[in-house]
Structure 1
Amino acid sequence: MATGHWGFTHRCRSIPEMKITGFQLVAVLLACTSIVAAADKPPRYTILKVKTAPKIDGRLDEAAWKNARSVGAFRFPWYKQGKKEQTDARMLWDDKNLYVSFLCQDAHVWGVHTRHDDPVYKDDCVEVFTSPNPDHPEKYFNIEMNVRRVWLDRYHPEGPGKKPPTNWNAMGMRVGTTVQGTLNDDSDTDRSWILEASIPLANFAKVAKHTPPHDGDVWHLNLNRLGGETNPQYSQWSPGKTKTPQFHAPRYFGRVVFSTKLVRK
């Protein structure tokens, strides 16, 4: 990523002019290399287990969600203009489901698509992309959900660039949303919207090593957001490095680790 190479150049040129021994030169080069490597390393998140499943209502008022750690600020790898509206995303799991929540800052909440597999990415939308088997990172799933609780789902057994089959559906999903403002009314200023989802782990059984995951299992996963027609921003947890916006890039997914440690009540 460009910022990584900038860090390399700046740090190396900031060394004062002096006589440098061979050992010092090696140390400097190793330090610069580690800086670049750290910049290229995908983000990592530990998903804690929950004993009592959260109610999927888009409110996030349970202690489990309050005590779950945020994945951190979303990145805007293809930013050009407009307001960067941030997202707070968190994840939990139990033996049956993966739970994910998104709290999205949004001045104008917008969503018009109402049927399964509609192009919800044209609305205010959040997405879960995952490759549940790190030995086969090209096999990935995408689930895209809009503010109206409608989702589009696909399984890509041959990786990006290949037309996926249309007969895969994320069965048993539940989605809840709330809007802190007014939907589809640009005459006022909204504050945010929340989406909460429950995704049965059985949907990934054909690819994942273990269903449910074992303690310490690692999945490749990314969380994305689109701002709809009112603020067409692209943001992600793990930023892509393609020249143009492209979420279907599993090589840039982050890493999630399933832990059997329970989240605090």
Structure 2
Amino acid sequence: MLLPDGSILTAFGTGYRCQKDGNGQSSPRDVGLIHWRVAEAPDAGVHPVRDASADSELRNGFDPSAGTPAATPVYQIHRTGTPIAIDGRLDEPAWFAAPEVGPFQFTWHKHGTQEQSVAKLLWDDENLYVAHICEDAHITARHTQHDGPIPEDDCFEVIFAPDPARPDVYFNIEWNVIGGYVDNHRPEGPKKPRAKVWDAEGVRIAGTFEGTLNDDSDTDSRWTVEVSIPLRNFAKYMPHMPPQPGSHWNLNLNRHGGQTNAQYSQWSRADTSTPSFHTPHRFGKAEFSATTAPFDR
């Protein structure tokens, strides 16, 4: 991820950690972190995220000459070869070895700074794992209650259809850096109401941040979250449980919210004129790979 000073985000140092588990409690504390390193950019004059040229649009999955989104992206989810501790540190070898999903697209951007995100996914027979680092000069996170007004905060979302044969049957889970999250199920697509009663069981979230929460008078740096989502929540909607290597989910990753310089960005670009993440026909493809991170056994 290219930062404003021309460096590339591959890891970073100390910050604060907030963790929320089955007890529903979260609290920040100062910790030492080992993350994807920050290295000097090979060419600090190249800023693809903030480049407003047609080349940048093509990199972001949009062809100005055609006026339509490009093909949806594909990502290989590596199996984790080491246990993942949900602590917000991202210091397991599997996270270092896993590929990034690629740059996030600012589908509806009109003004303000485009703050990039880096995300990776992993899987094993029990869980889907999500990790992300979000560049953010003004971090907002106030809500910790389950199914609370999380979209008022800076938040991140995974949204997916676990059976590609039924692309309109999908789920979304979105969270903030202090462990508040919302989970929803759309059994009949985006134009029909969400399920009245559905909760994902066993979701674990841990976050860290560099800066101060809910104080836009200063400048923050970034926030990081690590999540595990038990696959058993979707077993009756999946062709196979656990997933078979080579199978895939239709999936997207989205970021939005915040009080200052609110962000709307996503991995696979939507095709709506106004912000809407509920576009299952534009989800990318997340393939469950047999490749093991950090190495094949």
Report the TM-score range of the alignment, normalised by the length of the smaller protein.
Answer: 0.7 to 0.9
Contact 1:53 1:94 in 2 (8 A): no
Note if 1:171 corresponds to 2:201: yes
TM-fit CA distance, 1:40: 2.5
SS of residue in 2 equivalent to 1:204: helix
| 144-153 vs 85-94, which moves further | 144-153
TM-fit CA distance, 1:166: 2.6
Question: What is the letter of the counterpart of residue 286 of structure 2?
Answer: V
Structure 1: runs of 5+ lacking an equivalent: 10-35
TM-fit CA distance, 1:215: 0.8
Q: Could you say which residue in structure 2 is the equivalent of 1:6?
A: 64
TM-fit CA distance, 1:188: 1.9
Q: Could you say which residue in structure 2 is the equivalent of 1:138?
A: 168
Q: Could you say which residue in structure 2 is the equivalent of 1:29?
A: none
1:199-257 CA-partner distances (Å, limit 9, x unpaired): 00111112111111001001100000014122212000001010110001101100011
TM-fit CA distance, 1:6: 3.4
Contact 2:81 2:294 in 1 (8 A): no
Q: Which has the higher helix share?
A: 1
Check 1:148–1:243 CA distance in 2 against 1; reply closer, same or farther (3 A cut): same
TM-fit CA distance, 1:53: 2.4
Q: Could you say which residue in structure 2 is the equivalent of 1:71?
A: 101
Pairs within 5 Å for 1:19-30: none
Pairs within 5 Å for 1:116-155: 116-155=146-185
Q: Could you say which residue in structure 1 is the equivalent of 2:236?
A: 206
**Match of residue 142, structure 2, among 107, 112, 122:** 112
Q: Could you say which residue in structure 1 is the equivalent of 2:75?
A: 45
Check 1:166–1:52 CA distance in 2 against 1; reply closer, same or farther (3 A cut): farther
1:174-205 CA-partner distances (Å, limit 9, x unpaired): 00000111111223211100011000011111
Note if 1:190 corresponds to 2:220: yes
Q: Which has the higher strand share?
A: 2
Separation (CA, whole Å) in 2 of partners of 1:134 and 1:106: 34
Separation (CA, whole Å) in 2 of partners of 1:258 and 1:107: 34
Q: Which has the larger radius of gyration?
A: 1
What's the TM-score once normalised by structure 2's chain length? 0.76
Question: What is the letter of the counterpart of residue 93 of structure 2?
Answer: A
**Match of residue 252, structure 2, among 222, 242, 261:** 222
Structure 1 stretches (4+) deviating beyond 3 angstroms? 2-9
Separation (CA, whole Å) in 1 of partners of 2:215 and 2:147: 24
Question: What is the letter of the counterpart of residue 118 of structure 1?
Answer: G
Note if 1:97 corresponds to 2:127: yes
**Match of residue 111, structure 2, among 62, 69, 81:** 81
Q: Could you say which residue in structure 1 is the equivalent of 2:53?
A: none
Separation (CA, whole Å) in 2 of partners of 1:181 and 1:107: 8
SS of residue in 2 equivalent to 1:190: coil
Check 1:5–1:192 CA distance in 2 against 1; reply closer, same or farther (3 A cut): closer
Q: Percent identity?
A: 50
Contact 2:86 2:205 in 1 (8 A): yes
SS of residue in 1 equivalent to 2:151: helix
Q: Could you say which residue in structure 2 is the equivalent of 1:233?
A: 263
TM-fit CA distance, 1:7: 4.3
Separation (CA, whole Å) in 2 of partners of 1:6 and 1:168: 40
TM-fit CA distance, 1:5: 5.0
Question: What is the letter of the counterpart of residue 143 of structure 1?
Answer: I
SS of residue in 1 equivalent to 2:64: helix
Q: Could you say which residue in structure 2 is the equivalent of 1:20?
A: none
Check 1:249–1:8 CA distance in 2 against 1; reply closer, same or farther (3 A cut): closer
TM-fit CA distance, 1:88: 0.1
Q: Report the aligned-residue RMSD.
A: 1.6
User: How many equivalent pairs are there?
Assistant: 236
Question: What is the letter of the counterpart of residue 97 of structure 1?
Answer: N
Q: Could you say which residue in structure 1 is the equivalent of 2:35?
A: none
SS of residue in 1 equivalent to 2:252: strand
